[in-house]
Amino acid sequence: MESLVYQKAYKLAIRIVNAYKYPIEEKKEFVLSKQLLRSGTSIGANIAEANGAISKADFRNKMSITYKESLETQYWLSLLKNTNYINQQSFDSINQDVIEVSKMLCSIVKNSKNST
């Protein structure tokens, strides 16, 4: 059974892929949006990898990387918004999802440190 954080990260990745299309098709911006695509889709991929961890330390390490990817995703979203490649409404909607996943990941990382 897939975890809630994985499900949310997967749905977020779909939103990121769809959000990526607008700047490249409408604004002809390729660099910043590609960074958003990479970090935003790697969140779910890293959770999938963490689920196959061979030890608690391996799990904790992979989830820590995943949390950092979520923070990077927030950065690229902000940069795209503040350079007018995405509008405030799109930013608010996607960023809220990223923040929710980030909080879940932070909690998982903290709890995994406390359990060892």
What is the per-residue pLDDT across 16-44, written as a single tens digit (0 to 9) for each? 999 999 899 988 889 999 999 999 999 99
The domain containing residue 102 runs over which residues?
A: 4-114
pTM for the model stands at 0.93
**Residue 72 carries which side chain, given as an amino acid letter?**
E
Residue for token digits 């903290």?
110
Cα 92 versus chain centre, distance? 15
Amino acid at position 12, single letter = L
Per the structure, how many domains does the chain have? Answer: 1
Structure tokens at 42: 């790697």
C-alpha 44: how far from chain center: 7
pLDDT band, residue 116 (cuts 50/70/90): low
**The domain that contains 92 carries what CATH number?**
1.20.1440.60
The CA–CA distances, whole Å, from 23 to 49, 86, 106 equal 29, 7, 30
Structure tokens of 65? 């990387």
